[in-house]
Structure 1
């Protein structure tokens, strides 16, 4: 079944909501689990969930394509392990979400460098507005390069690499196997780091296991299936800008659940991000609607 670009965009919006919930699930889970070990278990369980529905397709994929998917998974694994390590040092989910969302702005630029595809003029016009919004949302417009912020920035760079290669391979490979292989590789990277650097606790309470299960099924298996599906039927730049909604939902949840302060600077920042997205979407629609002259 082929989706329209409008439906693909709606799927990506839902993806951002699920992704924001994943920040809450993860923050709760690492209260009782080591960060890298949590990522390893979360993504291995997520891969198992998807694998139940696509194992026959995975067996039919050529080894060359499996290796390509695995490389994409390495980028995702590097990003998610940097991300969870930053979360373990950070008490401000909103700030972290906004810094990580810079990956969506880096994605078209990285794609330009990798594949020689320059972003559209509409993107260049909307990007400065989104950057201004992110600046306002990060600690009131100014933040120093603390350790957790540097790890969030590194996660954003790896996510930009992942987003570009994921868009490339999602055009010619089935969605479920592509997502499943990537989740499995991410889990392997997390478990490897955990075995090398961490000590697993002797006891884990039932509520921590519950947060892990939610992270694996909803925020991992379902989220990456929807994200890969949405990317398959839309442009990389459009998908990247839609994914900027994730930090907006994250700060809303953080305010509701953790009483994170919401000064006017954050309100204005959210507004600027939404404005940049609307400008880009309207510009893209207008450009597609214009007649072609030979």
Structure 2
């Protein structure tokens, strides 16, 4: 079991690195295409990539016939997740147009704290450490987002709203994975997200194939690595892992985004912003620590 847990930890750590670096791909991709176009193409690629992943993960398993209720539940879960994912990823993509990769990564990671707060409306109680982490995270957001004159950047607002949407996405996944295969549901959600982004893409952005081809590197990375590979690594990695430990490892995505933004895009954070990042990371870790009930 210990060997399996080590493999699981490595899988989750790799997923966090891939997701953190994906913020760079999202930023670079915006130089060629609009946010709806980027999300549409990458999520459709992600859905296509997961098809062989599903076959690989189900190899050697005895095929069971699924009844109409199970299929309906799987489809419903995929649609609900797809709507939440489309909302969150679109808001995040718009936000990245107006803020740095590092700030976007840390503000997005705020979902780890938003989730237990939203859980209150579902009858799930929060421990003292969660509320302390909320206060610390708010202080971190102040240092990270609020500039001179108490103004918050437009990009920061978009990314924060995206974090709320991702929180809802996580809760929806938590509910539907009780009944459905996680990878299959993810495959459906990517296709739903791609279709939902396709309509505004055609209405507002009028994408050109030539521009999409110019952005093939960031789109392919975001589609294959971020959507397809990283999500599969998360599913496989969490199989024999304590969920609290898994969440802590995945929260390193925010740290990776800052490092990637610095190394690739040369986006430096000010001392004030670094303090904000540090406070938010402390809050993220504190929110995931085991709580006594």
C-alpha RMSD over aligned residues: 3.4
Cα separation, partners in 2 of 1:137 and 1:231, compared to 1, 3 Å: farther
Determine helix, strand or coil for the equivalent of 1:204: helix
CA apart distance, 1:224: 2.2
Aligned counterpart, 2:46 = 46
Instruction: Map residues 222-237 of structure 1 onto 2, 5 A cutoff.
Output: 222-229=229-236
CA apart distance, 1:95: 2.0
Cα separation, partners in 2 of 1:205 and 1:11, compared to 1, 3 Å: closer
Aligned counterpart, 1:106 = 114
CA apart distance, 1:287: 4.6
Cα separation, partners in 2 of 1:143 and 1:45, compared to 1, 3 Å: farther
What is the CA–CA distance in structure 1 between the aligned matches of 2:245 and 2:149, rounded to whole Å?
28
Any idea what the Cα deviations from partners look like across 1:26-84, whole Å, max 9, x if unmatched? 22222112220111110001101101232688994512321122112111111111111
Aligned counterpart, 1:150 = 157
Cα separation, partners in 2 of 1:235 and 1:124, compared to 1, 3 Å: farther
What is the CA–CA distance in structure 1 between the aligned matches of 2:125 and 2:276, rounded to whole Å?
26
**TM-score (ref. length: structure 1):** 0.81
CA apart distance, 1:111: 1.7
Aligned counterpart, 1:195 = 202
Are positions 1:63 and 2:72 aligned together?
yes
What is the CA–CA distance in structure 2 between the aligned matches of 1:141 and 1:182, rounded to whole Å?
40
Determine helix, strand or coil for the equivalent of 2:180: coil
| Unmatched segments (≥5 aa) in structure 1 | 289-294
Aligned counterpart, 1:164 = 171
What is the CA–CA distance in structure 1 between the aligned matches of 2:149 and 2:87, rounded to whole Å?
27
Aligned counterpart, 2:81 = 72
What is the CA–CA distance in structure 1 between the aligned matches of 2:245 and 2:34, rounded to whole Å?
35
What is the CA–CA distance in structure 1 between the aligned matches of 2:8 and 2:150, rounded to whole Å?
35
Q: Would the aligned equivalents of 2:20 and 2:257 in 1 still touch at CA under 8 Å?
A: yes
Find 1:221's aligned residue among 228, 237, 243.
228
Aligned pairs, number = 284
Q: Would the aligned equivalents of 1:11 and 1:227 in 2 still touch at CA under 8 Å?
A: yes
